[in-house]
Amino acid sequence: MATRKCPFCKEKVKEDAMLCKHCKNELPPLPPKKWYQTWWGLLLVLFGLMIIANAFGLKTNQKTETPEDIAAKQTDIDSIDARSWAKIYVEKSLKAPTTAKWPSGADFGVGQYKDKKGKVVKDVWEVSGYVDAQNSFGAMIRTQWYVKLKKIGNSWILLEIKS
Ligand SMILES: [Zn+2]
């Protein structure tokens, strides 16, 4: 409990006492506290600061991207690129590329190439799927294909193609 000085005898008395226990004088009433002198006032100020901090983009609590997150993102990008490049190489192998009808991307099999021990080989991808295109006799035929690619910088080189 907070105390104050009795204005008559200068002794310490309880802050909310109405009579001084030392000199028995009637104590003047306490002035009402200003809003900023209360706990509620303090909370209000803190709350206000938090809103301002947020508005100014001080992202103190933001989750930072881990190297795993970044790697996963890159893998997603690579899988899309692998599909696009596989299409390019398969198209080159077709007799009549302009007649090619491709399945939707979802019908492509795509994955990182694994060695015999089942270990992922960095930047090597396997893509498989089918394409409908005219053969040299003008007949529309469906070809199953498999492509193995390696990413080098921004380009993808063909390692193997089977159809
Ligand atoms: Zn007193």
Ligand 1 ion local residues (Cβ < 5 A): 6, 8-9, 20, 22-23
Does pTM surpass 0.85?
no
Domains of the chain by start residue, with CATH: 67-162 (3.10.450)
State both tokens at 113. 């190439």
Centroid of ligand 1 to alpha carbon of 26 (angstroms)? 8
Per-residue pLDDT of the chain in tens (163 residues, 90 and over written 9): 788 999 999 999 998 899 999 999 999 888 777 777 788 888 999 999 989 888 887 665 567 788 898 889 999 999 999 999 999 999 999 988 899 998 876 688 999 999 999 999 999 999 999 999 998 888 999 999 999 999 998 899 999 999 8
Q: If you measure from the C-alpha of residue 15 to the centroid of ligand 1, how many angstroms do you get, rounded to a whole number? A: 12
Beta-bridge partners for 128 = 109, 146
| End-to-end CA, the chain | 88
38 alpha carbon – ligand 1 mean position (Å): 27
User: How far apart are the CA of 24 and the centre of ligand 1, in A?
Assistant: 6
58 C-alpha vs ligand 1 centroid, how far in Å? Answer: 52
Check: CB of residue 25 under 8 Å from CB of residue 8. yes
